[in-house]
Amino acid sequence: MNALDNRRFIIVTGKGGVGKTTVCAALAVHLAHKNKRVLVAMCNAKERLSAMLGSDLIGADVSSVAQNVWAVNMDPERAVEDYGLMTLKSRTVFKLLFDNKYVRTFFSAVPGLHEWAMLGKAWWHTTEAGDLGGLKYDTVILDAPATGHGLDMLRVPKVIVDVVPPGLLRRDAERAWTMFQNPKECAVVLVTLPEEMPTTETIELAAALGELNLPIAQIVVNGVLPPLFSRTEREALEAFAAAPGAEPLPGDAAILAGKHRATRERVQAESLHRLSKELPIAPSFLPLLFEDAANPAAIRELAKRVG
């Protein structure tokens, strides 16, 4: 993850339920410990980051959530307003153009506008000036939506560049798209689990991101179990079956638990082999925590491993 230390924009994505927000939290704490000022931007998410960092609930306003870490949970409608204000730099002009129900109805019907408003707002924060000059944040981490929706969101600026006439919207989309494709400034982190379906989706997502020329800098396999059994032991355990109708014998419960663990280890080994073979970057691993990861102590431990 040290390769991510100097990136201004980090996009974290993957299948739903693989632990993207956990990785965002651990990465933010890791960078903050290196004296980086970090903003985590969530996309209208079910908010769990505050529990991970021990902060107050995170809403649509940027708030401090830990030392050197800020966060915002972007609401699509609010993001349109924020982006309009940032672009026009005048609340009066913004109200004249945007603050009526007909314009709002039109905007809600424009495909991709809400996605661009959130993505554009997150990108804008990479350019935001601090009170004392310079950039306000060293790194912005985008906790992107799950695979399909996240990929659609990342395609939006390219669509704008390709089809929208010259103007403010296209200008910002061009600037953002140029950054997103620059591996010195932007990095995509794919998060997955050592399971069959998340592995398949990650390989497909990596191929789609490659077609967009977006730089994949890291693949994080979350929830990796330490192996207890050799391949021979796994095969023996998976072959175990109690005789039909027979009374359970002492130790059967332990053998069945071992069989379940052996199956998980086999699926994990097969998934890790596929990821290593079919992706251009060797994956890194985060361990399965047998405690709840949504607490500051667990995130601090994962931040050490991330770093």
Q: CB within 8 A of 279, min separation 6: which ones?
A: 202, 203, 206, 219
Q: What is the pLDDT along the chain (307 residues), one digit of tens a residue?
A: 567 889 999 999 999 999 999 999 999 999 999 999 999 999 988 899 999 999 999 999 999 999 999 999 998 877 777 766 666 555 555 555 555 554 455 455 445 678 888 999 999 999 998 877 789 999 999 999 988 888 999 999 998 888 878 877 788 889 999 999 999 999 999 999 999 999 999 999 999 999 999 999 999 999 999 999 999 999 999 998 766 766 777 788 888 899 999 999 999 999 999 999 999 888 999 999 888 888 999 999 999 888 6
Contact present, 87 and 168 (Cβ < 8 Å): yes
**Pick from 60, 48, 44, 58: which is nearest to 20 by CA?**
48
∠ CA 1-158-80, nearest 5°, is 90
Cross-strand partners of 141: 10, 40
Spell out a b/e string for 243-268, using b for 16 or more CB atoms within 10 Å of the CB, else e: eeeeeeeeeeeeeeebbebbebbbeb
Q: How many angstroms from the chain centroid is the CA of residue 72?
A: 14
Number of Cβ atoms within 10 Å of the Cβ of 237: 21
Q: Which domains does the chain have, with CATH numbers?
A: 2-226+282-306 (3.40.50.300)
Q: How many whole angstroms separate alpha carbon 117 and alpha carbon 251?
A: 59
Note the pTM of the prediction, 2 decimals: 0.89
